[in-house]
Structure 1
Amino acid sequence: MTQTATIQQAIFSWYDQNGRKHLPWQQNINPYRVWLSEVMLQQTTVAAVIPYFERFTKSFPTVQALAAADVDDVLHLWSGLGYYSRARNLHKAAQMVVDVFGGVFPENLDDLQKLPGVGRSTAGAIASISMGIRAPILDGNVKRVLARLHTVSGWPGKSSVAKELWNISDQYTPNERLPAWTQAMMDMGATLCTRSKPKCESCPVEQWCEAHAQGRETSYPEPKPKKVLPEKHVRMLMLVNDHGEVLLEKRPPVGIWGGLWSFPEFEADDELSFSVQNKLGVMLADTEQWNSFRHTFSHYHLHIEPVKAFTESGATAIADDKICWHPLNEVMSLGVSAPVKDLLSRLEKSL
């Protein structure tokens, strides 16, 4: 038996005894549920994803139901999970499955990767887990396992390093038990071969792991080269009218918090009353500055300065269909970002 076959056998044996087999998306397996879970799990933990997956599949049990949904309803269910482009791409991809592929997920990697938000690894997971098609995967967990097993130097985001890891992943991918293999590799990275304090004593490939032999497990894979994130400042206006309604603005479909509802924003160093009157045509009364806080995105830090204010009596008309008054006790049903959701909750309690 070759070393590759021996390692495969060791991983299968470990998975049969210790692998996770009772996660929600491992029940009633089909391409839709696997695809949905894989997208949700991108840069998000299993524990965080489970309640979102359950709510999502209850509201949208099929790809047809998701395709027919209003994007605002999709974003609302996604609210708090972050990286909102994933939700918008899910909606677009569902519509593509229905409109282009007749409501059936394509059974080849090339067509799967035509779906918005589906890359090579996600396509491989869908194909292998739900269709039994031989396809390597290379999500963050698998990158870590393979980089340590073969001491692959360099940041995996670099094309030459990624190519080497893809070749290794393909080498180990067997011709049988594809769903079990894919899940086993992801489970090993998630539960044993963790970023810090890996449980090497429980790992089925410990004896072949080159990083372990060197005592340098946490040196692989190499992290992304660090860069200083820029700092941005914005003032969010939490404006309430006589009817107990709060003013919210629909953000553009692309970019940060794309398609979500948020508070109208103003430059932090502008004269607020003048800027509000110029943009919204209303006068402010009883303004109250709240403590600022920082929210970090992948590419910058955003310092948010919330300002609570009221409109002058009777001033409710806004000449912009993307800026609307919403009853404060109903806004939690909208798609909003986590920081805005927190501010809305605090605003309601303060009134």
Structure 2
Amino acid sequence: MNEKHFSQSILEWFDVHGRKNLPWQINKTPYRVWVSEIMLQQTQVTTVIGYYNRFMDQFKSLEELAKADEDDVLGYWAGLGYYARARNLHKTAKLIVSEYDGEFPSTLDEIESLPGIGRSTAGAILSLSLNQRAPILDGNVKRVLARFHAIEGWTGHPSIAKELWYWAERYTPKTRFSDYTQAMMDLGATLCTRSKPNCPQCPINSTCRAYNEDRTNTIPTPKPKKALPVKHRWLLHIENQKGEIYIEKRPPSGIWGSLWSLPDAPYTLDGNDITHYCREQLAVECTVLSYKESFKHTFSHYHLILHPIKLSYVSSIPSISGCSDSRWLKGKHQLGLPAPIKIYIDSMEEEY
């Protein structure tokens, strides 16, 4: 199958079966497409839709996003995970306002130079919002091309990625750039899925090597797995007499960067050590009340097991410098909390 026949088959399939009513496909602008593409990194469409609609209702324009407080941005992102994406969105919006007079750049090099935007995301923004010819290579497209050419090896490996970019460039047609980009995304998301692909309905199955060689279950080659280490931390649930919970803002780098969370402490500490830790590190005097059920949260690079310990707040210690970004939390709020921390706090509130 030559390049023209490939793209023509994909577009004909898209005209009948493609997705055309997703929120970011309506009133397409570089800003709206950019936000959707960042949200869709590491996250399924069905999950993103609700977050996207709420985010766009709050930050209707790039200028509004740039003016927003970081806490507000993270609050509307909380639950999506990979929070560096939200911080980069905010940083990029401010950069576009200051460096590009609020106009989203319109060249591949300029867009790719922005925080949190790689080659494929830049291409998607250009092709989907401005109908410019710019190949993409997201996870869906990698899977389609790897199976079509029976390319073995993990698609994240530089040499494999280079080969896939070659084919992505060759197959991108000279017209209907936006439709073709969306069509490739849709094909991977709806037919050429990671498991149990619906090959009989695929428009390019007649010349797909993996399908014809019965190798769709082994191509693409999975990412090499390694055992994830397990880390343990105390989760400090400090509560005052009003039923308010002590939270602090995490550093910008590291897990849950810039989100509000319950403090945590080394798991090597015992009960007496923990009250001392609260005194020295948080500048609060408290006493241990009870130990709660532990729970696990898995990151891409390790498992984190949190061991909540409930403490009763006694007083602050003005002479000791504690966390400057701290507050007491109760009831409704719009702060960005990590999903597992929010679930834990909500479950504690339900006990009362």
**Measured at CA, do residues 240 and 323 of structure 1 come closer, stay the same or move farther in structure 2, by a change above 3 Å?**
farther
Distance of 2:267 and 2:184 partners within structure 1: 47
Task: Find the counterpart in structure 1 of residue 330 from structure 2.
Answer: 328
Return closer, same or farther for 1:172/1:222 CA change in 2, 3 Å cut-off.
Answer: same
- Going from structure 1 to structure 2, the CA distance change for 1:224 and 1:309 (only over 3 Å counts) comes to same
* Aligned-partner SS, 1:333: coil
- Give the Å deviation of 1:315: 4.8
Q: Which amino acid aligns with 1:298?
A: S
- Within 2, Cα distance between the matches of 1:322 and 1:291? 29
Contact 1:251 1:262 in 2 (8 A): yes
Residues 81-112 of structure 1 deviation map (CA, whole Å, 9 limit, x = unaligned): 00000000000111111111111111110000
User: Are the equivalent residues in 1 in contact too, given 2:279–2:317 (CA < 8 A)?
Assistant: no
Q: Specify the alignment match of 1:276 in structure 2.
A: 278
Distance in structure 2 (CA, Å) of the matches to 1:174 and 1:280: 59
Separation of aligned partners in 2, 1:7 and 1:315: 68
More displaced, 269-278 or 233-242? 269-278
- 8 Å CA contact 2:275–2:287 kept in 1: the answer is no
Partner Cα separation in structure 1 for residue 56 and residue 325 of structure 2: 31
Report if aligned partners of 1:328, 1:348 keep a CA contact under 8 Å in 2.
no
Q: How does 1:39-78 map to 2 (within 5 A)?
A: 39-78=38-77
Quote the residue 1:27 is aligned against.
26
Which 5+ residue runs of structure 2 have no aligned equivalent?
A: none
Aligned residue identity for 1:224: K
Percentage of matched positions with identical amino acids: 49
Unaligned runs of 5+ in 1: none
Residues 290-335 of structure 1 show CA distances to partners (whole Å, capped at 9, x for unaligned) of 11111000001101101122113x55868435342323114x4211
Q: Is the 8 A contact 1:245 1:325 kept in 2?
A: no
- In the alignment, residue 348 of structure 2 is paired with which amino acid? L
- The residue matched to 1:305 in structure 2 has which SS? strand
RMSD of the alignment, in Å?
1.4
* 8 A Cα contact 2:234 2:306, kept in partner: yes
List per-residue Cα deviations over 1:56-91 (Å, max 9, x = no partner).
Answer: 110001111101100110000000000000000000
Change beyond 3 A, Cα 1:350–1:325: farther
Match in the other structure for 1:213:
212
Greater mean alpha carbon deviation, residues 273-282 or residues 28-37: 273-282
1:1-351 superposed matches below 5 A: 3-271=2-270, 272-285=274-287, 287-312=289-314, 314-315=315-316, 319-330=321-332, 332-351=333-352
Alpha-carbon distance in 1 for matches of 2:232, 2:4:
55
Equivalent residues of 2:281, 2:323 under 8 A apart: no
Question: Does the CA contact (< 8 Å) of 2:111 and 2:122 recur in 1?
Answer: yes
1:350 shift after superposition: 2.8
Cα separation, partners in 2 of 1:309 and 1:321, compared to 1, 3 Å: closer
Give the partner amino acid of 1:30: T
SS at match of 2:185: helix
- Offset, 1:275: 2.1
Is contact 2:238-2:312 (8 Å) kept?
yes
SS in structure 1 opposite 2:257? coil
* Inter-partner Cα distance in structure 2 for 1:53 and 1:325: 28
Given that residues 287 and 312 in structure 2 are in contact (C-alpha distance below 8 angstroms), is that contact kept between their aligned partners in structure 1? Answer: yes
SS, match of residue 252 in structure 2: coil
In 2, distance between residues paired with 1:325 and 1:286? 20
Q: Deviations over 1:208-264 (max 9, x none)?
A: 100001101121111111111111110111101123221111100111100001111
The TM-score with structure 1 as length reference comes to 0.96
Does the CA contact (< 8 Å) of 2:199 and 2:205 recur in 1?
A: yes
CA distance, structure 2, for counterparts of residue 73 and residue 192 of structure 1? 37
